[in-house]
Every structure is written in structure tokens, then in C-alpha cells.
Amino acid sequence: MTVKTEIRDGLHILAMNDGKLNCVTMPMRRSLVLALDAAAADPLCKAVILIGKGRAFSAGADLNEMNSEKALSSPRLHDTVLSIIEDMSVPVVAALHGSALGGGLELALACSYRVAKADTMLGLPEVALGLMPGAGGTQRLPRAIGVEAALNMALSGKLIPAAKAKEGLIDRIIDGDLLEGAVAFAREIASIRPIPRLNDVKIDRNMVSGFLQFSRGVAKMDPRRLPGLIPIIDAVEASITMAPADGGAFEFKSFKKLMNSDESQPFRYAFLAERATASISGVDPKTARPVLKVAIIGAGTMGSGIAIALAQAGIEVQILDLNPDALQRGLSHCRNTWDRSVSKGKLTQAKRDRFVASVEGVESYDQIADCDLVIEAVVEQMSVKKDVFSSLDAVMKKGAVLATNTSSLNVDEIAASTMRPEDVVGLHFFSPANIMQLLEIVRGKETADDVLATSLALAKRIGKVPVVAGVCDGFIGNRMIDSYLAQAMYLLEEGATPSQVDLALEKWGMAMGPFRMSDVVGNDVPWDGRKHRRAANPELKSPVIADEVCERGWFGQKTGLGWYKYVPGARKPAPNPELSAVMEAVSAKLSLHRRRISDEEIVHRCIFALVNEGAAILAEGYAQRGSDIDIAYLFGYGFPRFRGGPMFFADSFGLFRMIREMKKFAANPHGNPEFWTPHPLLQGLSDSENDISKHKVQS
Ligand code: NAD
């Protein structure tokens, strides 16, 4: 039985215990009904206490069940379990700890009273999954804490600790043992009549109609395009305008519609895909080596950002830089970042002091010898990296993990400069490293499984989303972005402008268009890469315009000119006044008649380029799952979550239809037509009517 009852002097204590997070799955719902029925049938029962064993009261719906028929089959939460609770002739006290989320919070809201440990996290996170509450959350929460606070919670999906919950949600915070506190509370309220029921509370419509209208306006403009926003507002309005049973039915109908809608799928897919990235076949998380102290080599942009991320997770950090001024600049960057957070009220002085104290600048390799992990973040030059790794090899204690933050160099070659290549791994952070959530973990040929497990554990500890990649040029993310950027630039040569391309892709959902993004990163970075690749392969095809821009020193924001012009103090970039002449000259040199290009062609060429390159990466085994590629793009490249990621988008667009378009692109003689031969993996999946986002590499 998932729910066990203990009877203590007339109190029925119902303990939910599924060994996990007490999700309101079919077995849990059945078990709750049986336990509640038994309490209702007991003439000596004075009150019921509903409590969760393990880590949580209840984390709500189980997403895997949600994708099956069982989710909505009887006994259902909203109209069976919760109705039974509300119809009990004795009070029901929910005793909360850990978390009470979604269906878990809705379960608590149907109870007569709620007591909680101060740190219980409460929330209605359904919105972030492309859904909405479906078991009375939009009906009872406004009655508990008011329309404004309830809408804020349901529309943001944010979690709040019970201690900070608005009055009306929690009746008592329990300091000591939760069950004992709940028992004492239940004894105090057992005979109070009428039994409080949130559905009996009436909301004054006049007070809130303005707020509802305002919320609708904001929701319509929300760039996340969460499909639950407007239905949540409508359902909250129903809690005011309709009788409770009708409001509940209205909410459930909208919930069901959303659940079956195309719009909600990418959000649920992304949620599950994110949780899958850390599971790597053959790698046992329990083998992770302990990491207490980390050294960083290089205190520049990346080194100092990584130091911030580590220190904030309670890890002791030592930074070493060959240049004493650079070291001081790196340390000041850490301090200034935390000082700014203190002045904005986002960080306490005590925490800031703790973070500052945990980052130490050092001058020699001997001082870092006992660190458990080293992250190298020096300049992107193989010879320098090799020197650093042979120094590390000479001093670091046995078992230390040696990581490189290289964004493009061969991790196997770096590893070969040590006598312990099995301890070497790539930890590719994204800039700014303390903010960006993606961590690409690059598994070298010889990287040991427990080194990979250590890297995955570190990612989790510092709040990053890991994606494991193999050693190939650009790994997953940057290899794909190269193909995407190449298309964006070929489009310029054919007649588009940077702002047209950027706007088309931003309107489609990308956080930043390719040219704005390139100006932020610096156009010189890929230029260096192109020069190296061209040296190795003189036949390499790349857009002429990219080199023309770099030869003029237009490296982007850092030089004031790039694809745009950056005027100090101006919020938006202006057009680079000299660029059109350069673009026209390039088109003429390539004998191209500049033409009007549609936004659709821009989007399809750039996004399908990501997909075709992603298919190659999968086929070559450099990514383990199609969904890992999507997660890299959602967390590292500003790909819109409402499209699920490039692979998920390809599936929803239809592989057959996409391949047909690729063939049309291949007929355009400009811009590397061979690239548009659909990768055989893509073609095969299309022929067999399978999805690339579900594709897994067999190990
Ligand atoms: P940076 O130029 O800002 O910093 C490099 C630092 O390394 C400098 O402070 C320099 O003094 C120091 N350094 C150079 N040689 C050294 C040596 N032998 N020993 C110790 N210190 C040395 O560079 P960055 O942007 O922080 O990039 C560092 C690494 O991270 C590069 O491999 C880069 O490709 C990678 N990376 C950069 C970004 C980015 O957006 N900047 C993103 C991902 C990865």
C-alpha cells in the first residue's frame, strides 16, 4: 500500500510513501481513496492527518504517467480524491515538508488545514511544463491567498518556502517534529465546526477585474509563449464568476485541452530531456570522486566566471595566472560581481564574505597540488595548453581530475601531453560562466568513467545542465553553430542584411540573432578557427563575407564595429554604415545578383543547418541522444523552449517535409550546396517514420 494508516487516539494518520517523491500517481490515488474511506467509516475518527514520508509531501503529477492514459483515469485527483477530502465529516490536516508542488499543493489545498516545516517549497510549476493546474489549484489558491498572489504563483511557476507564504496558505509553521506538531494541531482544531473549506470562500469580483485584464495583457506579450498563461487567468477568473463545482470543471476541461495540445509538448519534452542528459550508459554516478577543492588556471573571462560559479556552490577555489595583473583583475571581477549582488539586495554581506574568502589567488603550481580537480582556462592555443597540462601532470596529486575549458581544441591531444590521459576531460563552460547554465562535458578517448561521473556530479552541484559530447571539432554546440552561422552569412551574400536575418530568427524565437550573437562573442574567434581549418584543408568552403569583415578589424562589440556599429551609451546597435558596400562588393565578386529573401527562407536555412549538422554529430556518436543536442541548444544557445530544441522542432515540422526543403536549398549553387544533402541518419529516420529527437546512439 502506498498510503499507510496509523490510528492514534482517534486521529487517522495517513502517510504517503512511494519511496520517491509521493507523486499523485494512480496507485497513490487509489491508496488515498481507500485510506480516506476507512477514516470516514470509523465512528471514533476525530480528524485525519495527511503526511508524506521521505523527501517530500508530494511533488505532484508524475510526468511519465502524464504522457500515458493512466493520468486521467479513475480515481482522478480533482473530482474523486479531493472531493472525498472536502466531504469528510472530520477535519483533514495536511502536514507538509520538503515540497508540495502542483498536484501535491492542490491536494493540500483541498484539506481543511495546512501545517508545514518552514522550508517546505510550495508552488504550482505546471505553467513551465506548458500546462496549468488541473486539480483545483486555480480555484482554491485564489480563495486562500487572494487573486493577485495566486495568479503570480501560478503564472510564474515559482516555488516559495512555506515561511514566506502569503497568509491563508499555511495555518501553522511547525518548528520541531512535523508529525508531532501536526498531531498537536489536529487535537486543537478537531472539534471546530464548521470545518473550513476553501471552496466556501467568496472572492469580490470588483476588486480584481483590473488585475485580471492587466495580467492578460502581460501574458500575451510573454516571449516564453507558455500555452498555459491565458488558460490560467481564465480559470482564476472562473473561481470568481462560477460556483466552485463549475469552476473546477472549467479548469479541468482547459487542463485536458492543454495536455493534448501541440503547444504543451515541447515544454514537457524539454523537462524530461534535461533530466536524461546525466544518464550515460556505463557510467555509475556513485563512482564520482570527491571534489572539495578546485584549482583554476587562467584568471581571465572564463577562469573568473568559473571561480564565481564554484565558490557559490560552496567549493574552495584557487586561481593561478601567469600574469599577476590578470590574476588581480580576475579576483576583483569575482569580488565586484558579489558586491553588485549585495547592493541589489540579492546577496547577504555574510554570504558575500564567505564567497570572497573561498577564492584564493596563488602564484605557483606547488600550491595547488592537493586540489581534487583543476580547470584550465588559459588562452586557446594548443602549445600553451600542452605546457599547462604537463606542469599539472608533474605536480597534481594522484586521482586529481584534470579538465580543460577549451572550446575547440582536441581534448585527446591535450590529454596526450600528460602521463594520465584517463584523468583528463573537457569541461566546456559558456560565457558568462557564472550565469550560463550549459556545461558541455567532453569525453576524451581515454577519459575514465569515474572522471565522467565526477564531472556530471560537479555540474549538478554548481547548478549547471550537463551535456556529454565526444571529441570533434567544436564538440556539439559550436560545431552546429558553425553550420548555422555559415548559412546566415551566405544569406548576406545573396541579398539579406544582418538586421533582416537577426529579426527573422528572433521573431521565430531565438534569443539573439546570429549577427548580434557573433558581435558579442567576437568575430575574430571563429576567424582564427577558420584559418586553422583552412591550413589543414585548403578546399574548406566558408562565406567570403566573414573574412572580409574580420580583415577590416570589425570584430564586434569589443572594437565598436562588427556586423553592427556600437555607439557608447546607445542601448541598441546601429547599422554598420560601411557594411552594405562591402556586402555588395562581395556579391559582385561572387557573381551573385542580390535578391529579396523571405524570412521563411532565412529561418529554414539556418535552423535546418543546425538539424543536418546535429544528425551528423549523432550518427558519428559524438552525442548520445538527439534530446541531448536539444538541451545543449536550449541552455547554451538561446534556442526557444517553446520549440523544444532543433531536433524536436525538426520532428514537429516533419522530417520528410524538411528534407524536401533541403533538396530545394541544394539546388542553389551558392553557399555549399553539398551541405544540403540530407544526412543519411536523417533520411533513414524519415523513411522509417521515426523521430530524431528520440534517437539514441547504441553503445
Ligand atoms: P582570457 O584571455 O580572458 O583569459 C586567459 C587568461 O589566461 C589570461 O588571464 C592569461 O593571463 C592567462 N594565461 C595565459 N597563459 C597562461 C599560462 N600558461 N598559465 C597561466 N595563465 C595563463 O581568455 P578566456 O576568454 O577566459 O578563455 C579561456 C579559455 O576558455 C580558452 O580556451 C577559450 O577558448 C575558452 N572559452 C572561452 C569562452 C569565451 O566566451 N570567452 C567560452 C568558452 C570557452
**pLDDT (0 to 100) of residue 503:** 98
pLDDT tens digit sequence for 35-65: 999 999 999 999 999 999 999 999 999 988 8
436: pLDDT strictly greater than 80: yes
Report d(CA 389, CA 423) in Å as an integer. Answer: 11
Question: Is 506 among the catalytic positions?
Answer: no
pTM: 0.94
**pLDDT (0 to 100) of residue 204:** 81
**pLDDT (0 to 100) of residue 533:** 87
Work out the pLDDT band at 699, boundaries 50, 70, 90. low
First to last CA, the chain: 38
Q: What is the dihedral of CA 606, 221, 464, 57, to 10 degrees?
A: -140
| Phi, psi torsion values for 239, nearest 5 degrees | -65, -20
Share the mean pLDDT of the chain. Answer: 96
Q: With the C-alpha atoms ordered 639, 644, 645, 650, is the resulting torsion angle positive or negative?
A: negative
Residue with CA at minimum distance from ligand 1 atom 15: 378
Question: Is 661 among the catalytic positions?
Answer: no
Work out the pLDDT band at 207, boundaries 50, 70, 90. confident
* 3-state SS, residue 21: coil
**Ligand 1 site: residues with CB under 6 angstroms?**
297-303, 321-323, 326, 377-380, 384, 388, 405-407, 429-431
Ligand 1 centroid – CA 405 distance (Å): 8
Of 320, 378, 555, the residue with max ligand 1 atoms within 8 A of its CB, to mutate for a pocket test, comes to 378
In eight-state DSSP terms, residue 431 is S
Average of per-residue pLDDT across 507-513: 97
Report d(CA 492, CA 87) in Å as an integer. Answer: 67
Of 296, 297, 301, 555, the residue with max ligand 1 atoms within 8 A of its CB, to mutate for a pocket test, comes to 301
Residue with CA at minimum distance from ligand 1 atom 8: 300
Report d(CA 19, CA 2) in Å as an integer. Answer: 9
Ligand 1 nearest atom to the CA of residue 388, by list position = 18
DSSP 471-521: SSTTTTHHHHHHHHHHHHHHHHHHT--HHHHHHHHHHHT-SS-HHHHHHHH
- Which of 106, 251, 494, 601 is catalytic? The answer is 106
Q: Report which of 183, 148, 14, 160 is spatially closest to residue 85, judged by C-alpha positions.
A: 14
pLDDT tens digit sequence for 115-128: 999 999 999 999 99
Ligand 1 centroid – CA 390 distance (Å): 17
pLDDT tens digit sequence for 389-432: 999 999 999 999 999 999 989 999 999 999 999 999 999 999 99
**pLDDT (0 to 100) of residue 246:** 97
Ligand 1 centroid – CA 103 distance (Å): 47
Ligand 1 centroid – CA 333 distance (Å): 14
**pLDDT (0 to 100) of residue 64:** 85
pLDDT tens digit sequence for 313-359: 999 999 999 999 999 999 999 999 999 999 999 999 999 999 999 99
* 3-state SS, residue 469: strand
CB 36 within 8 A of CB 14: yes
